[in-house]
Structure 1
Amino acid sequence: MKTTTRIFTALALGLGFATVQAEQPALKVCTAENEMPYANQAGEGFENKLAHYVAEQMGRKLETVTWTDPRYFIRDYLDKGLCDVVMGVDAGDPRLLTTAPYYRSGYVFISREQDALDLQNWDSPALKQAKRIAFAPGTPAETMLRAIGRYNDMFNYQQELAGFKSKRNQYVKYDNDKLVNEVASGKAEIAILWGPAAARYVKAASTPLTMTLIPDNAKRADGEKVGFHYSTAIGVRKGDTALLEQLNKIVREKQDDIEELLEAEGIPLLEEPASALSMN
């Protein structure tokens, strides 16, 4: 009789635990419909994988809410309650609450190994001599290409990369895999991209490529610093401090697992500045 009672009790406790898990609300994560290598609808991006990991750690089912235009998704999705979590935002983004950074990376110079280009900083002669440099407009790369007098040289080439689309009132996307392939195929000598955006494609390129982190000490002609290293965090809606605390706990306690996922992607990782660590 005692044995039967113990078995019944164990079953009841197990069922109770399963019920609690089932009652947990889904973790609704804002994710891009097609912004690789970060995320897509098929869940193939590294931020998709991270979202799954975070949901598992919280004991919650993952529910993805996809957006198509990055310019408005915080206003139209997160702020309106259609989702609760955003992966891969700038640490300290004023539009939302952000966790402690889960990685820090930087922009990179990409070139073919066989070319053996000496690309160390913005004074490198290879940047002056290159006929074609692939980059995404509106990034620090554009700012510095203007500063060293190479932006106008690349204007026609940039229009080719965009497919001659009009930029008026629409989001024009420069595909990261295409920009990396411009170098791998020999159409461009150099590409300048955000490391996490390029890493997957550099790693997969049929032509061996070199990815060099750009130092974070560049300045424009007027002496203003141009940042090339940035920290990335998870974001939640303003006021949702309880969810923020849960996510911060995962970021801090599971940092090794998170770094393993990022390193598998080939993302170049940097140490967080002491000032950033002290704020979180």
Structure 2
Amino acid sequence: MRRRVLSAGSAVSAGLLACLALPVAAQPGAAEAPGADKVLRVCQDPNNLPLSNRAQEGFENKIAALFARELGWKLEHTWYPQRMGFIRNTLRAKEEHSERYKCDLVTGVAKGFELAATTHSYYRSSYAMAYLKGHGLDRVRTLDDLLALDAGLRSKLRFGVFAGSPVIEWLLQNGMMEQVHWYQSQTGDAEQYPGEIVEKDLANGKIDVAFAWGPIAGYFARKAPGAAIVAIPLQSRPGMKLDFEIAMGVRHADKEFRQLIDRLIDSNHDKIDAILNQYGVPRAALPPPAPSQP
């Protein structure tokens, strides 16, 4: 867990709070700038725990609420499934009969996400491997341990894998692709959610090993009813990056607003960490943030 941040309980200076609370000035002839009316407009997925849901029970919901409190602004949501067309229908979409955008901030995007300008990272996590205890895998802690299993046992394992997962190349290299049960992270069904791979299919024995984003695997491993599930963060290896920095996204033109969110992230590391701890989010240390671009 990273510790390069403000000490626990440290207060943000009154001057910085005043700076954070200033709405960004609108440019003549442009849509109203984010925060001009002291409303933090956030677009989030309505059904993607532990990240977010419509009941605002996810850790990204809590972080957005924290930012609104720090600013002294009202918090408003636009809900849209985080799949194909998400940015087009949220961050880039305007309200009907208005020049105002539906939202100004998207939480939970990979650092360097191309469809938006990304803020400083607020956590770094990795893909994880999850399995049921007591089924011959209890000593497995790494991909190499999985590969070292008895060939007879390994050949019978059913792997749950999301299309596009970075672990696919490893499975291909080791001749296990025929054992893969595929999952789509961007389905057309708004009622489906990524955590089903652990909460339902792994817990019910449909698959033996689930490969999923660490925060999702860890959260649903803890809450799966009647099942003892282990979720183990995986380490990146040569040619296979498994850990990613997570930031927030704003429109490329909203440079001052991005800097505002950067300051909120930087001044609230301890509070953000406390929220992530509540959800058991596995994390690795973050590098120091690069200076915000003007």
Structure 1 residue 118 corresponds to structure 2 residue 140 = yes
For the pair shown, the structure with the greater C-alpha radius of gyration is 1
Structure 1 residue 149 corresponds to structure 2 residue 175 = yes
Structure 1 residue 135 corresponds to structure 2 residue 147 = no
1:267 maps to a residue whose letter is V
Task: State the 1:114 CA deviation.
Answer: 2.8
Q: Secondary structure at the match of 1:108?
A: strand
1:235 is aligned, of 235, 249, 261, to: 249
Pair 1:47–1:69, CA change in 2 (3 A): closer
2:289 is aligned, of 257, 272, 277, to: 277
8 Å CA contact 1:29, 1:84 repeated in 2? yes
Deviations 1:87-112 (A, max 9, x none): 00111112211111000000011122
Deviations 1:181-217 (A, max 9, x none): 3333333221111101222211112322222111101
8 Å CA contact 2:47, 2:193 repeated in 1? no
What is the TM-score normalised by the length of structure 2?
A: 0.74
Pair 1:78–1:131, CA change in 2 (3 A): same
* Count, aligned residues: 244
Equivalent in the alignment of 2:8? none
Q: Secondary structure at the match of 1:248?
A: helix
Equivalent in the alignment of 1:202? 221
Structure 1 residue 51 corresponds to structure 2 residue 73 = no
Trace 1:4-23 onto structure 2 (pairs within 5 A): none
Runs of 4 or more above 6 Å deviation: none
2:117 maps to a residue whose letter is L
Higher mean C-alpha displacement, 124-133 vs 105-114 = 124-133
What is the TM-score normalised by the length of structure 1?
A: 0.77
Structure 1 residue 77 corresponds to structure 2 residue 90 = yes
Task: State the 1:49 CA deviation.
Answer: 1.4
Higher mean C-alpha displacement, 254-263 vs 123-132 = 123-132
Task: State the 1:129 CA deviation.
Answer: 3.7
Which is helix-richer, 1 or 2?
Answer: 1
8 Å CA contact 2:127, 2:212 repeated in 1? yes
2:48 maps to a residue whose letter is E
Measured in 2, the distance between the counterparts of 1:48 and 1:208 equals: 28
Structure 1 residue 99 corresponds to structure 2 residue 113 = no
Deviations 1:14-69 (A, max 9, x none): xxxxxx99x84311101112223222222222211111111111111110011135
Task: State the 1:172 CA deviation.
Answer: 6.3
Task: State the 1:141 CA deviation.
Answer: 2.6
Deviations 1:230-263 (A, max 9, x none): 0000111112111111111111111011011011
2:170 maps to a residue whose letter is M
Task: State the 1:122 CA deviation.
Answer: 4.6
1:143 maps to a residue whose letter is E
8 Å CA contact 1:69, 1:171 repeated in 2? no
- Taking only aligned residues, the RMSD between alpha carbons, in angstroms, comes to 2.8
Pair 1:203–1:170, CA change in 2 (3 A): closer
Equivalent in the alignment of 1:30? 43
Measured in 1, the distance between the counterparts of 2:86 and 2:196 equals: 25
Stretches of structure 2 that go unaligned for 5 or more consecutive residues are 1-21, 24-35, 94-100
Equivalent in the alignment of 1:90? 110
Q: Secondary structure at the match of 1:114?
A: coil
2:289 maps to a residue whose letter is L
Measured in 1, the distance between the counterparts of 2:281 and 2:155 equals: 28
8 Å CA contact 1:111, 1:117 repeated in 2? no
2:193 maps to a residue whose letter is D
Measured in 2, the distance between the counterparts of 1:191 and 1:207 equals: 14
1:62 is aligned, of 75, 94, 105, to: 75
